[in-house]
Structure 1
């Protein structure tokens, strides 16, 4: 079975990034994959200082082990000042090739303003640098404040279809690249 780990790169209460990640996870699970969501709001991670070990931070080991054991990833970030959130970048910096190489990765960015691809492009470079594989389908969710109803459901049918295509691509490509059924 395909195992995917999603990482929520937002610390905001009521985060639209968390909603988008949960939506993607639900669609991926519907395709028969197992999904574990790591919510950085609930983890105690130090700032990366280049050390290999962080013995006083057990969540570093939890993060590393979850990602290492996964076949694929979903990286979800709010876009701050045209790039990836600091908390997501820090979480990625706490890992190495040992954890990230070979992972098939889907990318989601969430913006309050108009949709663009800056954070997605930055994440694509980071994942490529650690020898991961990024699927071509990606989600850039602009004006997130009007994308969801009160129950967290998407209001736009085309956007909903993009989430379906994203989920299908992540599962299919993970199966192909990782050789998992």
Structure 2
């Protein structure tokens, strides 16, 4: 099983730091899980315009393939102007909805205020619902107060929630995989 962590921004470090921290927890606790990290900063992704995916640039095709081939996800986003950035929305638009169907999604977000956690509730969870994905019950939200001057997560509650999210996505994915295997027998 491959877990893909996605940092859905092209600016800032905190989103990637939190996603990587969840992935590190998974690697530490569940060495049988393949982990991959997609940092949208590393790719020049074209805007979705409805064309055949094979006609996009190599970077865009690579990102589509990475996302489509994963079994489940940790998706991280910063919150800008009370919403997810266009980079992440564009990524969702590029992926065939069937490629997210019946897959587990766990979310992380970071923003400037404590109230921006609502972006997970009011935007990301409904998007996952549209895709018919399964959403981990907990999520990780951080703001600048949760990091030290070296951009390291210093808040023990956030570290606990990171560990909890790692456990939840693994438990959900393994349970769903077993259930689907049993239903096809």
Task: Give the CA deviation at 1:51.
Answer: 1.9
The answer to whether the 8 A contact 1:6-1:37 is kept is yes
Kindly report which structure 2 residues correspond to 1:2-151, keeping only aligned pairs within 5 A, or say none.
Answer: 2-13=1-12, 15-32=13-30, 33-121=33-121, 122-141=123-142, 144-151=143-150
> Take 1:63 and 1:123, find their aligned partners in 2: how far apart are those partners?
19
Q: How many equivalent pairs are there?
A: 176
CA distance in 2 between partners of 1:115 and 1:166 (Å): 20
TM-superposed deviation, 1:100: 1.3
**2-side partners of 1:56 and 1:131: how far apart?**
26
Q: C-alpha displacement at 1:170, in angstroms?
A: 0.8
Output one character per residue of 1:147-180: Cα deviation in whole Å (capped at 9) or x when no partner: 2235543211111111110100011111111339
Match of 2:156 in 1: 157
- Per-residue CA shift, 1:113-164, capped at 9, x if unaligned? 22433321211111110111111011121xx323223554321111111111
CA-atom RMSD in angstroms: 1.8
Farther off after superposition, 89-98 or 111-120: 111-120
Runs of 4+ aligned residues of structure 1 deviating over 3 Å after TM superposition are: 150-153
TM-score normalised by structure 1 residue count: 0.89
Give unmatched runs, 5+ long, in structure 1. none
Higher relative contact order (CA 8 A, sep 6+): 1
Counterparts of 2:52 and 2:101, CA distance in 1? 17
Give 1:165-176 correspondences, 5 Å limit. Answer: 165-176=164-175
Q: Could you tell me how far 1:61 is from its partner in structure 2?
A: 2.1
Larger radius of gyration: 2
Select the structure that is richer in helix.
2
Higher mean alpha-carbon deviation, 110-119 vs 96-105, is at 110-119
Return the TM-score normalized by structure 2. Answer: 0.87
Q: Give the secondary-structure state (helix, strand or coil) at the position aligned to 1:49.
A: coil
